[in-house]
Amino acid sequence: MAMRRAGMSAIRALCSSPNSTRHVHSTAGSKKIVGVFYKANEYAELNPNFVGTVERGLGIRDWLESQGHQYIVTDDKEGPDCELEKHLSDLHVLITTPFHPAYVTAERIKKAKNLQLLLTAGIGSDHIDLKAAAEAGLTVAEVTGSNVVSVAEDELMRILILVRNFLPGYHQVINGEWNVAGIAHRAYDLEGKTVGTVGAGRIGRLLLQRLKPFNCHLLYHDRIKIDPQLENETGAKFEEDLDAMLPKCDIIVLNMPLTEKTRGMLDKERISKLKKGVLIVNNARGALVDTQAVADACASGHIGGYSGDVWFPQPAPKDHPWRYMPNQAMTPHISGTTIDAQLRYAAGTKDMLDRYFKGEEFPLQNYIVKEGVLAPQYR
């Protein structure tokens, strides 16, 4: 199927071959590129750098159209009659984001007969059925590194908001109240506490560096140890056994990708073994945890606070239990889409499109699926 429209590819699968390969090397002629972003609406005019939106479309329209390509942007991504569905049959490239995820299912991939390339403007491509994408021989790539600093900063903010019990104080202010005891009886310093990160990839490592001056006990669990120099610099201790690490932590931060292996990893049983009053920060993915188990543990006080910006599904429905559980400090999915991050992932997406048109390789770390072959950490 894919062979009908594929030219020579400069990029070859390195490992096992997929069932079929849709070569990522752009063939001659104009391409149809579709981008799915969140709408800026009334906020569009407030900031000239608000590029990650439908209205600005990553700021690449003029560049794409000057080269003869067609560029469609929309936020309409759900259901059989949405704008995205209309373009599936003839698009070549689909750009999506984790913040307003267009779920790229096996069914949609099957419909998208011309599709060659799936680009994530940002980091985290779990809204894409990677197995189906690999089987169809597609390439999936993201702008690795584009918002890791943004997310790590946000995690440290959330740790502090929980440890220091910020929100009850803020609520007192807006409600015309003043009751220091109502805040202070469960406000602590971060100093001296034990903080464990599950995952010490790009974001986890940046978090450890930012935590260093707070004089905490830092632990990390990952498949492999971090660079000895960084371990020495941050004082973070490697914990090979996740279930040995978790009960030691006053604060747990999730920093791993969502895969079939990690889905639901923080479930009722694991939560029951955590310290009473443990604080949890999850800016990774909502589906890493059992939604109801988290809500129940917040209600019982076993979890002393939960903060994050990721939910499943997104947007979170009005009746999502995390909106109503006590001691939550949640936001919509926002940490990786600061204005600074948008400028970086817009630039990174443009760079990959440029390479695609020219038949050049992407930066190696950007590949999630490379011509049908899944990157090792997703297998």
Q: Which residues are catalytic?
A: 147, 285, 314, 333
Q: What is the DSSP letter of 123?
A: S
CB of 114 to a second copy, least distance (A): 29
Q: What are phi and psi of 337, to 5 degrees?
A: -125, 40
Find, among 252, 209, 253, 211, the residue nearest to 231 by Cα.
Answer: 209
Interactions with a second copy, residue window 320-359 (CB under 8 A): 322-323, 328-335, 337-342
Min. distance of Cβ 197 from a second copy in angstroms? 15
**Closer residue to a second copy, CB minimum distance, 68 or 79:** 79
Enumerate residues 236-255 that contact a second copy by CB under 8 A: none
156 contacts a second copy (rule: CB under 8 A): yes
Per-position DSSP letters for 179-215, written without gaps between them: -HHHHHTT---STT-EEEEE--SHHHHHHHHHHGGG-
Alpha helices in the chain (DSSP H): 61-66, 83-88, 106-111, 130-135, 148-163, 166-174, 180-184, 202-211, 228-234, 242-245, 268-272, 291-300, 339-358
**Residue whose C-alpha is closest to residue 279's, from 307, 243, 308, 305:** 305
User: In the complex with a second copy, which residue's Cβ is closer, 337 or 366?
Assistant: 337
Nearer to a second copy among residue 151 and residue 254 (C-beta): 151
Q: Which is nearer to a second copy, 4 or 185 (CB)?
A: 185
The DSSP output letter for 164 is: T
Cα(329)–Cα(86) distance, rounded to whole angstroms?
38
* One character per residue 50-79, x = contact with a second copy (rule: CB under 8 A): x-xx--------------------------
Stretch that binds a second copy, among 17-25, 46-54, 219-227, 261-269 (CB under 8 A): 46-54
Q: Which is nearer to a second copy, 333 or 355 (CB)?
A: 333
Residues 134-153 close enough to bind a second copy by CB under 8 A = 149-150, 153
Is the distance from CB of 59 to CB of 345 less than 8 angstroms? no
- To a second copy, the closest distance from the beta carbon of 8 in angstroms equals 40
Residue type at 106 in one-letter notation: A
Between 41 and 105, name the residue whose CB sits nearer to a second copy.
41
Asked if 210 touches a second copy (CB under 8 A), the answer is yes
Residue 322's Cβ-side half-sphere holds a number of Cα atoms within 13 Å equal to 28
CB of 269 to a second copy, least distance (A): 27
Which residue of 86, 110, 131, 212 would you call a contact of a second copy, by CB under 8 A?
Answer: 212
Tokens matching residue 376? 């090792």
Chosen residue from 82, 132, 161, 265 binding a second copy by CB under 8 A? 161
Taking CB under 8 A as the criterion, which residues in 266-305 touch a second copy?
none
Residue 183 touching a second copy (CB under 8 A): yes
- Residue 157 exposed, middle or buried by CB count within 10 Å (0-12, 13-18, 19+): middle
Among residues 132, 167, 230, 299, which is the contact residue for a second copy, using CB under 8 A?
167
- CA torsion through residues 16, 21, 22, 24, sign: positive
- Name which position in 17, 19, 47, 365 contacts a second copy (CB under 8 A): 47
| CA dist 379 → 259, 263, 363 (Å) | 8, 13, 20
Residues from 185 through 204 that contact a second copy (CB under 8 A): 185-192
Site for a second copy in 83-122 (CB under 8 A): 99-100
- Nearer Cβ to a second copy (132/334): 334
213 lines the binding site for a second copy (CB under 8 A): yes
**Near a second copy in 24-43, by CB under 8 A:** 38-41, 43
Binding residue for a second copy, selected from 180, 225, 227, 354, defined by CB under 8 A: 180
Secondary structure tally for the chain: helices H, strands E: 13, 13
Q: Which of 108, 104, 115, 35 is nearest to 75 (CA)?
A: 35
Q: Which of 28, 174, 224, 364 binds a second copy (CB under 8 A)?
A: 174
Contacts with a second copy by CB under 8 A: the residue count is: 71
